[in-house]
Amino acid sequence: MSESMRHGRVSLLIELADRPGALEEALHHFSVAGVNLTHIESRPARDGRFDFYVDCEGERGDPAIEGVIAALARGSEAMLVLDERTVPWFPRQVAELDRIASHTLDAGADLEADHPGFKDPDYRARRAMIDRLARNHRHGDPIPKVEYTEQEIETWGIVYRKLESLHEQHGCAAYLEAFAHMAHACSYAADNIPQAGDVSAFLEARTGFRLRPVAGLLAPRDFLNGLAFRVFFSTQYIRHHSAPLYTPEPDVCHELIGHAPMFADAAFADLSQEIGLASLGASDAEIEHLARCYWFSVEFGLIREQGDLKAYGAGLLSSFGELEYACAGGEAELREWDPAAAAEQDFPITEYQPVYFVADSLQDAKARMQTYCRTLARPFYARYHAATESIWVDRAVRRTSSSRR
């Protein structure tokens, strides 16, 4: 059951006269009626005045609530009762990510029959162990340390070496800058797989982004919701040693080599969070649009630097073949980064992308995403409050309960 189903919520927009004590008088009506305020926020309005958004506990029809509304209507310049919207469940507090972290879409440790490790009982046992670490993780716990085996480090080393020189050529400047720092601070090396906990601590100090262990792929809604909290769900297992340059799923190489360094860049971090905030309580159709925006930026985004195409998307930065293919810019269609167009663009997941979107810079990529998100018909406007690690929404919403939560 959602919190707002236990306690109804009424949201009011009040415009007050510009004089001392006006707010105090308005709030007095709540205390007299014994109505509990849950949130109050001011926003600049016309003519130097302020609008006040007030959330309180109760429901329309309650005598106390109706009394407050009537008193406010008499005493303020204007007053509006905002409708409560029913929206798909979304986390309001960072600890609520615990509810979605274990709902992986794929088979988890029970690999699909076409997975390179399917017939390897040792690999499957290892996956099951790392899978458990992720599933048992709770917000606030330290990220579990994984003691990687020699064989795993060897697999990592093959990927690492193969990508190293390609990154110099095709990685964007922000990626290279962050990677150089992280190699030192988080012990990235061909013969060492960094610990997700160290990487997360580094990123948190730089941009407030954190990694959170996950056992496999999440539904787009769940995954994107995490980004709203500046949390990136990240796997810790590694691909099968028989096919070091191929993985059918995200693994520690994709996460730590492809994704993690980009979260050290402020503009990229904001771009990612923007998509996350827009995903909170969004309709299924909007989630599909946002997932495509994510795909064409965070996974396969390109930018232009001194006239050259450079990669900032993790799908490219962790794939030596496609990284060269995309940055050569020969065969694929290159389009200017336009989230509205990306939102409508289908994509293949098992072959090179036929279309890439190119931004002028990471700042440009972020700014365009912000502009796009402002155009979405959203049920509410959401903001992340870093000090309390919670989501503030500008109107009363009822989060629909779901059987799995």
Question: Which residues sit at the interface with Fe ion, rule CB under 5 A?
Answer: 314
The DSSP 8-state label assigned to residue 381 in this structure reads: -
First to last CA, the chain: 9
Cβ closest to Fe ion, residue 133 vs residue 217: 217
User: Cβ 355 to Fe ion, closest distance in Å?
Assistant: 18
User: How far, CA to CA in Å, does 122 sit from each of 139, 144, 152, 223?
Assistant: 30, 21, 12, 29
User: Cβ 253 to Fe ion, closest distance in Å?
Assistant: 11
User: Cβ 349 to Fe ion, closest distance in Å?
Assistant: 11
CA distance 43 to 23: 13
Cβ closest to Fe ion, residue 9 vs residue 254: 254
Cβ closest to Fe ion, residue 76 vs residue 225: 225
Paired with 323 in beta bridges are none
3-state helix, strand, coil in the chain (%, to 5): 45, 20, 35
CA distance 33 to 316: 59
- Asked if residue 231 lies in contact with residue 97, where contact means CB atoms within 8 angstroms, the answer is yes
CA distance 188 to 171: 16
User: Cβ 197 to Fe ion, closest distance in Å?
Assistant: 19
Cβ closest to Fe ion, residue 292 vs residue 378: 292
List the catalytic residues: 254, 259, 299, 318
Nearest by Cα to 220 from 132, 295, 274, 108 = 295
Residue type, 209: F
- Closest residue to Fe ion using C-beta atoms: 314
Cβ closest to Fe ion, residue 231 vs residue 314: 314
Nearest by Cα to 161 from 117, 127, 192, 194 = 192
User: Cβ 57 to Fe ion, closest distance in Å?
Assistant: 41
Give alpha helix (H) positions in 352-391: 362-375
- Supply 124's token pair: 């499957």
**Burial (CB count <10 Å: 0-12, 13-18, 19+), residue 157:** middle
Cβ closest to Fe ion, residue 13 vs residue 252: 252
Q: Number of helices and strands (H, E) in the chain?
A: 16, 14
- Supply 248's token pair: 């059918």
User: Cβ 294 to Fe ion, closest distance in Å?
Assistant: 9
